[in-house]
Chains A and B, each alone.
Chain A
């Protein structure tokens, strides 16, 4: 049992932390978020040069190592800066799918350029009726000899706008909620029959709803064995869930810090807000929530590493607890600041927005509480 970061992890943390604090100030972040693409291509190249785009991957795949602890070290720092670059959608979600399900040819074609920063991908798994149930797949792919024909609708695909290629979970056999019969394929975003509605999300990121209308693909676009994809999909979504848990911890830390600092300068009734015990205790409560969130994040990451990448019960415990903390810290930060935090101008409201989006991504708080209870 060891609670310390390795030397490599400390260096990683310092490197990401330095970027966020020196090169990712609030005005820059807002400008990037409001730009045409919603992220900075320049930053993305920098991440590639710094090796950050290899973090979630095994050394065999040319990655940094792929440990869950590495991932949370990185994501906590990204969370502090409310990073909008598609590290989560492109690197973690799409990258993990290829790393886990792809052949060596597919890894060479998709994962290598992804790690070099020259390819934008997205993973389309959710559907309007599926909510958080990953086996609820109606998007269909008919495999006929050398050809696949794809039909269906995928909802809220993160990085769906920028993606040049889209990885899609599809049903190749069985009924809508069967665990068997789900497959993974990749499709060119520009292929005939692919239609995208692109939009910004509430947290300043980008996503898309995507429709596939008789999209014809070569059978070689199948990743892994037909009908056996559910385990890889669940593992990938759990990894993304861990990543946003860490991101939430970073965001909560900043939100609390900003709230405490503001309470020490804002005066009402001729004294600073920090002198009111009603507010002091609310901030202490936020601190306790954050501490519990940090602890359970470490638990989940260590369990994932111990169990070879899959620890659904531990992950659900973390997502449930951190979701609860995120709700409280986000809302209390607004309340203690007062009206100023409801304005678009102040960053605190944007931490609240991201913390909210995280609560409803990759399984909501209630979803994970129930999954924990059932496992």
Chain B
């Protein structure tokens, strides 16, 4: 057991760092640093750059175009990307639907979908939650009724993140009869967003952004060849995907970067006590909060590294991955709150346009103070999505403790 990076790994770190320095577009980097929302083009541009280098599919098997990286390499890559403020890869195609397709899809489906996901030619979104199926996801009501070579889909999906950009949606739909037990009636269906009968409407969140949507399906006719695997097995597939989603959800590298930024800013922010010489970072209560958070994050970092190491030796991320989701999101939200605390009064001004590309008005308050409260508000979602933290706790109870 040791923590050292090998010579090859250190060389890899250099390579990633040099690549990011050379290839990450300056405007994207600046936007990320200044809290400006990234556009669809920004994401696609960056993902295509990564794809060209062969570094976009860090969790895929090599045979489909994945990197085949070791846990240490993934760790290095994530940390370097966070340090440079590189955008995170959109998870829906690359990290969510692709593993389902290459694990459960047929040969034709792999050929048809994976190359476009790899090349970021197609934007995917997720169709899981419904207005009346949140934490109780298996109670979803969207139906897909087989008619000849087609499924006819009716229902409503919600919380569809960035669905306004999407070309395709992967959905959990009900294919079984009404009396079939919930989990055994659910199937996994891929749907082209341009199919007649699909309507999408934005939902505005607490930060004023139309980040999520409702997607309505009205007699949408989907070719039966878009079904992944077998009818009635969708729930099983989705559960596997969810464990992948949960390991991706911890966001350790990003939290490390945010915490580091927070410490630096606190060292430059007066605590108001005695003029220019007394900084927030000198305050004992602040120091203790930061120290406890750093320690928690350090523990989580090693929990994640161990999980990655298990995955690399062929074990699927087990129910323990729920810990990553719970702790990772708790830490993210704790950092959110500290950012608001750091901003003080300047957490109050809300000029929505300030977060959009091309804003040429007067920026109120110090850097990033304006985004602190909207981020805090928006990110309350983190402990709710991907299976709420209470659902994760239930998973630990059932699958780990046998309760």
Given contacts A1-B5, A1-B9, contact A369 B295 (CB under 8 A): yes
Given contacts A280-B403, A299-B299, contact A1 B305 (CB under 8 A): yes
Report B-chain residues with C-beta under 8 Å of the C-beta of A295.
Answer: 299-303, 306
- Least CB distance from B203 to A in Å reads 30
Complex CA–CA separation, A201 to B99 (angstroms)? 56
- B298 adjacent to A3 (CB under 8 Å): no
Question: Could you say which of A3, A280, A283, A296 contacts B309, with CB atoms under 8 Å apart?
Answer: A3
B296 at the interface (CB under 8 A from A): yes
- A263 adjacent to B303 (CB under 8 Å): no
Complex CA–CA separation, A284 to B309 (angstroms)? 23
- Least CB distance from B397 to A in Å reads 4
Complex CA–CA separation, A12 to B323 (angstroms)? 29
- B403 adjacent to A274 (CB under 8 Å): yes
- Chain B residues touching A, majority SS: helix
Report B-chain residues with C-beta under 8 Å of the C-beta of A280.
Answer: 393-394, 397, 401, 403
- Least CB distance from B287 to A in Å reads 5
- Least CB distance from A324 to B in Å reads 8
> What class of interface size applies to chain B in its complex with A?
35 or more
B22 at the interface (CB under 8 A from A): no
Total contacts A-B at CB 8 Å? 118
Q: Nearest A residue to B312 by beta-carbon distance?
A: A3
A132 at the interface (CB under 8 A from B): no
Q: Which residues of B approach A to under 8 Å, CB–CB?
A: 1-5, 9, 71-72, 75, 287-288, 290-292, 294-296, 298-303, 305-306, 309, 320, 323, 326-327, 390, 393-394, 396-397, 400-403
- A283 adjacent to B295 (CB under 8 Å): no
Report B-chain residues with C-beta under 8 Å of the C-beta of A373.
Answer: 287-288, 290-291
Report B-chain residues with C-beta under 8 Å of the C-beta of A4.
Answer: 1
Which of A170-201 touch B at CB < 8 Å? none
- Chain A residues touching B, majority SS: helix
- A321 adjacent to B4 (CB under 8 Å): no
- Least CB distance from B308 to A in Å reads 9
Given contacts A283-B403, A372-B291, A373-B288, contact A292 B299 (CB under 8 A): yes
Given contacts A3-B306, A370-B288, contact A69 B298 (CB under 8 A): no
- B396 adjacent to A317 (CB under 8 Å): no
Complex CA–CA separation, A1 to B1 (angstroms)? 7
Question: Could you say which of A284, A293, A320 contacts B397, with CB atoms under 8 Å apart?
Answer: A284
- B295 adjacent to A299 (CB under 8 Å): no
A149 at the interface (CB under 8 A from B): no
Report A-chain residues with C-beta under 8 Å of the C-beta of B301.
Answer: 295, 299
A119 at the interface (CB under 8 A from B): no
